[in-house]
Amino acid sequence: MYPHLMAKHVDEFKEVLQENKLRVTKSRLAVFTILDKFSDQFLSPDEVFDLIHSETDYSCDRASVYRVLATLADINLLNVTQFQGQASKYQIHHHTSDCGDCHEKHEHYFKCLKCDAIQPIGDCFIDAKIKELAKKGFLTLGHHLEITGHCPSCN
């Protein structure tokens, strides 16, 4: 772990909370610490809860984890996705995967059926259809694309 990097992220997190008129609480810090440490993974609320207790000195109950995740998702700090047959999973939103002129949230992922690895798909090939629907008056357009199969490691 890189304490100086983690501290920088925590300071930025505190600023985001303050900008959104939210208090800095131990529960929010606990959840953020785990999501920041495992920022390359999508984690379920139960995984976040378990990691808080095994990876940090924080104490946080399960209900608080669910509430904090919902709050952080509401302020657009987290990507939230639900893969077929699984609970919602959360990851810090890095604001780097915007595609074209899509106006609302959207997601593109490959999910391995064997090891459950989740890999973002960068290109938005649905953008043209979104634009077409928007021209017809459809609003609040978003999409979630999940491609499943076996990753190279599981072949």
The DSSP secondary structure of 87-149, one letter per residue, reads -EEEEE--S----TT--S-EEEEEEETTT--EEE----TTHHHHHHHHHTT--S--EEEEEEE
Q: Say whether 61 sits in a helix, a strand or coil.
A: coil
Residue 99: what residue type? C
Helix (H) or strand (E) holding 71: helix 62-74
The CATH topology of domain 1-96 is Arc Repressor Mutant, subunit A (1.10.10)
The CATH topology of domain 97-155 is Dna Ligase; domain 1 (3.30.1490)
Contact call for residues 80 and 87 (beta carbons, < 8 A)? no
Residues 6+ apart with CB under 8 A from 125: none
Contact call for residues 106 and 89 (beta carbons, < 8 A)? no
pLDDT tens for the chain, 155 residues: list them: 333 335 568 888 999 999 999 999 999 999 999 999 998 888 999 999 999 999 888 889 999 999 999 999 999 888 888 777 778 889 887 644 444 444 345 567 788 889 888 887 777 778 788 888 989 999 877 777 778 889 999 98
Domains 1-96 and 97-155 alike in fold: no
Domain parsing of the chain, residue ranges: 1-96, 97-155
CA gap 133, 141 in Å, rounded: 8
Q: What angle do CA 88, 95, 17 make, to 5 degrees?
A: 75
- What is the value of pTM for the model shown? 0.69
